[in-house]
Structure formats: structure tokens, C-alpha cells
Structure 1
Amino acid sequence: MICPFCDRNLLLRERPNRTCSHCKRRYALDPKTNSLGLSDARVHRLLAKLTDGGRLKISAHQLGAAALPKSTPTKSRSPVVEALGCLWVPLLIGIIMVVAGVSADDVGPFTVFGAILIGIFVLGMTIAAISGGKKRGTPHPLSGFRSILLSDWVGVYGALPAGIVDDFPSRRVYIPEGARLAVLCRDRGIAAFLVANGIPERYGAVIATEVEQVPDALPVLVLHDASAPGCRSVVRTREALPGRTVIDAGLPPRAVMNTLGAPVWYGDRPADDLIEWLGESGTLTKGELEWLARGCTVPLTAVRPAKLLAAVGRTVERLAATTPADPERREAEAVGFLTWPGEAGR
């Protein structure tokens, strides 16, 4: 890797304890010791690209998503498949020993030991089958990345990289003066991204991460991942806010599922009853339901920041243009005086 301070090309043995052996300065990230293969220099290159040369602010997970390999994560294997991989050797040896022992004149310890090995295989497969319903979930591709920045990067440089904003604290809501609408986004990093890039002040938009935080009478845009839980959040929000204008701002599965090069992540398949429930809600097509049922996800963090900000801006601007600022008109909206085209009764 290249030293971020003296630009020397360092071999692994030349950078012990994340310290350059030439300039003696300590850096934050070593590509050999973090799952994304990030170095300080690569972080700076990615930030220059993602922030449009410093014009935008982004979240830590938006940076991490850009650093992920282009190949999508694989699905986790079932316990039965893992057991087969671990136990086929003792099974094979056990069979050979039993066959050899039975064929010999003296059927003794040799055969018994082989039978024990076969028993180990059977026991292992039985345990794996029993635990099949409790298989390990596929880890999130960015699991732990934010904590790496907070510990390693902040530990060396004293602050997050320039251009990165930290996630919203839990239960925080951002309410600008003259609020005219609300944007509900459960991803606290994306919520911080919207605030840092001026969406609230530009459009009079409240930024909330929980439906309980949405002020009364305001129409609501729900911003979510293209995923089964994300699509569920739109339906749940409409149920929680009856009589309110609630608009699905995306990301809808149909916008990405057939798009070449879309950053699709594959995780654990959602529960069958969730897919069935989404189907009954009438908000998704059969193709979208099948795509979601395979465990496909396109998270908001994987969308290029400038593109995401522009899309959110267009959607918010469209709603803001039809949303009056004075309280009496907002109260009329709350009881259906004004509705978003195509959204009435949903």
C-alpha cells in the first residue's frame, strides 16, 4: 500500500502496527486488516468522487457501500450443507474401516472404530438438521464499518474523514422553521445525509427516523431501501397515520430489479408470511414480490449520493409545490381536503 504521508509503496513488513517504517507516522486503515480492503489514500479518493469534490456530505455507510467489491455477497449456507462439508472425511474413513474390518478374519476394534466415525457423521447431520431453522443470518456487508471509522480513523486523526457526517442519534428528529412536509427515513445515516445537504431548509422538510416523530397534519414521504422490510415500512406508515397523505418515495423494487449494474445485495430470504402480507397489501407486482422473496436488496446507501440527493429533491419539491405553508390549509389536508394524485384512500 501507499503511505498517505510520504507516498512510499510499503510492503506488509514495512508497516507494522499501521506505522510507516520510513516516515514513522501512523495511519488509520490497512487494506490487509479490514474487510473492505480500504487504505487512507483510497478513502480520500472515494470521498473526492462521492462528495463531488467536497460539494456534498455523505454518511459512513455510503462510503463503505462504494468500497464494496462489485460482486454481490453470497447467501449463507444452511447448517446441513456446512455439516456435509465438515464431516464427509470421517464418514469416508469410517466406511473404509468398517468394510475392511468385516472383510478381515478378526472383526474387532478396527470395525468398532469405523462404526464410531460413521456414528459421528450421523450425529452431526442430525444436529445440523435440528438447527436448520435457526441458521446463522447473512451478515450485513457493511457490518462494523462505521465503528472502524470511529475507532481507527478518529483514533489517528481525531475526527471522521472530511465530508462524512455521523449518523443521527437514536430518536432524533430535525424540524426546520415553517415545516411543510415530513420525510421519514429509518436509515439514520441517510437521514443525517439529507440534513447535512440542506433538504430541510430548502423544502421545509422535517427529517424523522421513526413514525412517532412525524408532526401532526404534515404529509409524509417514506424513503426506504428496495427490500421487503423497506416496502413493509410504507404500508405500516399508512396504517399508523390514517387519513394522512403518505407517499412512497422509493426505492421501489421495480426501479432496480431489472436494471443492469444495479448494486443488488443478496441476504437471507424474508419470511414467507411477510411476502404474503406484502402481496395482500396490493402495493407490489408479482415480479417485485418474487424478487424480494429471493432475499434481494438495493439499499439507499448503495445509490450514488448525488443521484440519491437529486431524486429526493425532485420528489420533495413535487410534494412541497402542492403543500401550503399556513396551518389552516395543512389541517384541511389532514382530513383529505388535498390529496396527492393517485394516493387517495391508500
Structure 2
Amino acid sequence: MSFDKTIHLPVNADEAFALITEPERLRRWQTVAARVDLRVGGEYRWTVTPGHHAAGTFQEIEPGKRIVFTWGWETGMDLAPGASTVTITLEPDADGTTLRLVHEGLTPDQAAAHAEGWNHYLERLVAETSTASGAGPDAWAAAPDPIDHLNCAEASLAVLLGVQRKLTPADRDKATPCESFTAHELLDHLAGSLQHIGGALGADLSDDTDATPEVRIAGLAQVSLEAFSRRGIEGAVDMGFAELPATMVAGILNVELLVHAWDFATATGQEVVASDVVTDYVERLAQQTISDQVRANGSFAPAQPVAETAGSLERLIAFTGRTVAA
């Protein structure tokens, strides 16, 4: 069985090729995170939605014209990485580019499931290229089901990158809710935290300080989360200053990603778009992670009051010592 669909994109073929191959562009319409080694024989790994990771290798590459790659899932679907093949062909037309996607090597059940997925994401690709607002946040990535430490971290990363995508150089020196941190200093802090956590998990990290905030953090977080996924959340992690339960390290990672998303958004007049499923879960992790001892060493201020009618995001933010506007 196969899935075969053709769409029109109002962009030239080179731009269309970038949208289907470059991590920064893929995150606009299809993935939470993406690692791409764009060469024949090179591997890719895409976090399509939290907890669901597609992987394979590139078989043919003709920039601006055609790309062929194997496709499968690390877990679920009974379709291992490399077990099926996707071919995307680009043809210039009078108003842009015709894109044809053919996914072959599927069982009837797999074809039906992938048809739903490809239709969803190809619609988002059309929206990304056709509307001023782009595809916007993906509802499929908002509320992992089931949710766990690592799926929640990937959903929190999606929230953070959505905020960082809108940061501009003019935001660099803006004050943030983190005391004494400008937006740029907070970015450095977050990058350092990801390097510390990823390094403790055995990840090979490279911090591109010249990249945009989104690209910089996406690169560090992608590698760190992959390392966590390989390791799992059992046992303890040597963090250098102490051995901590892996579940606590995962809790710290979730708090860093989601709370700092709120910090950046507050500093730059943005709104955080996060589901209650995610904010409720991170609130519980924060309660397990931020002890009186942690507050005493200055990492977090005392918990702040919050209205009884406050939502879970506001409760989380107040618990971390930040003031939530009435």
C-alpha cells in the first residue's frame, strides 16, 4: 500500500526544498525538533509529536527537485526506521511549486494512519507558505497522551521554541522575570543548563552562540533529549556536584524549558500557548524538584501568592517564585 498526494505551494522550488529538509523550516510545520544529515546515506531523526520519533536515511537528493528517504518509527506503528520509503518531487509551475509526496511500503493499516498524518502536515505546509501567520502551533504536539517525563519535556520544548522564534535582536537587552537577567543573559543561562544536563547524560553538544535563539536552543535541546531517550529515567545521573535521580534531572529539564518560555514571553510581550496537560504535569514535577533547600541556595525565590481561580500555568509560575500579574 502507498499514500500519494500532490499539493501546490506558492513559493519557488528552492524554498520548497528548504521547507522539507532544513530543521529550522521543518519545525515551522511538521516537527517539534529535527536532526538532519542531508547527504546520501545521511540519517535524520524527527520528533514529529512528543514521544513519536520518525527516523531513516536519505537515499536520493536533488536540491530543488527531488528527495527520497526511508521512513519508520522508533516505537509504535510496527514500522521500524528504514522500513518504508518516502519520495518527494518538486516541479515549478506558473504560481510556485507543485509538490508530490509518495509514501510506499505500508500495510493497509499503516497507510491509513500515515494518510491522516501526511494530510495534517501537508495542510500545515500549505498554511506555512500561504498565510501571514504561518502554520502556527501544532495542536497535535500540545498534549502528549500518555504523558511522561520525556514526552512532556518535548512538548515544553515546542512551547519554548514557539516563543523564541519571535525574538528579535531588539529584545536582547530587555529585562526578564529572572532577577538581574536580560533576555540575552537568560538565553546564555538556558544554553548552559542544557549543556550541563546533556553532558551529564553523555551527549556530544556544540553550542552555536552565533545562531538565532531558537536555532541555538533547539540544537542543544534536541541532542540532550535524544540522550535522555536512549538512557531512560531509571537510576541516578552524575551531575558533577551530586548524583541526582534521573527523574529529578528530567523534572529540572521540564521546568527549565517551560518556565523560561514564560520568562521570554513575558519579557517580550508574547503569550505562552501551552496545554493544561503539560502545565499540570510540569507543576507536579516542580513541586517534587524545588525544595526549601533549593530555594535557600538562591536558585528560586519563595513561592508567590496566586488567585484561587488561576490556571495551572499561573500556579506553576508562582510556585517558582515569580509574580503573576493579576
Q: TM-score, normalised by structure 1?
A: 0.23
Larger Rg: 1
Q: TM-score, normalised by structure 2?
A: 0.24
